[in-house]
Amino acid sequence: MPLKGRAPEAGDLIEIDRGFYKHWSVYVGDDYIVHITGLTGMPDWGFVSSSNGKAIVKKQLLRCVVGNCNYRVNNKYDGIRQVYPVSEIIVRANKEVGKTRTYHVFAKNCEHFANEIRYNEARSDQANAAVAVIMAIGILILFL
């Protein structure tokens, strides 16, 4: 589990590189993260399709979720969004643990969740990029 960049601190967003997509979580300290994953307890592969659009918020050891993947701290909106105080980020994240949430890869995914906890704005750049690609392909198909 190679770390890229600085070590995480409480309140940081962790971006885990799964190859095809990035899995996002909130670091709450003591080597633990809070994130959303499939109801089955299997690793999140980005779609949670076997869970009928549902996911659960879990608190797990970072190393257990990361496995052999690369990961890094990525608080990418800190310069343009208001950041909750660290103590509030941790309270907000821990309050969600154990809750079942609606999951949709383009509208309510792990990146939306993590950004909502840190910035109070559910946003996913990777989902927006995927939608843009799908729309571009659709337009190309229409004109071919």
What contacts 40, CB < 8 A, 6 or more positions away? 50, 51
The one catalytic residue in 64, 69, 104, 110 is 110
Per-residue pLDDT at 108 = 76
- Euclidean distance between CA atoms 33 and 117, whole angstroms: 12
Residue 104 a catalytic site member: no
Asked if pLDDT for residue 102 goes beyond 70, the answer is yes
Residue 64 a catalytic site member: no
State the CATH architecture for 3-143.
Answer: Alpha-Beta Complex (3.90)
Per-residue pLDDT at 49 = 46
Q: 42 versus 69: which is more confidently predicted?
A: 69
Asked if pLDDT for residue 144 goes beyond 70, the answer is no
- Euclidean distance between CA atoms 144 and 138, whole angstroms: 10
The one catalytic residue in 23, 69, 104, 112 is 23
Reported confidence tier of residue 53, pLDDT bands at 50, 70, 90: confident
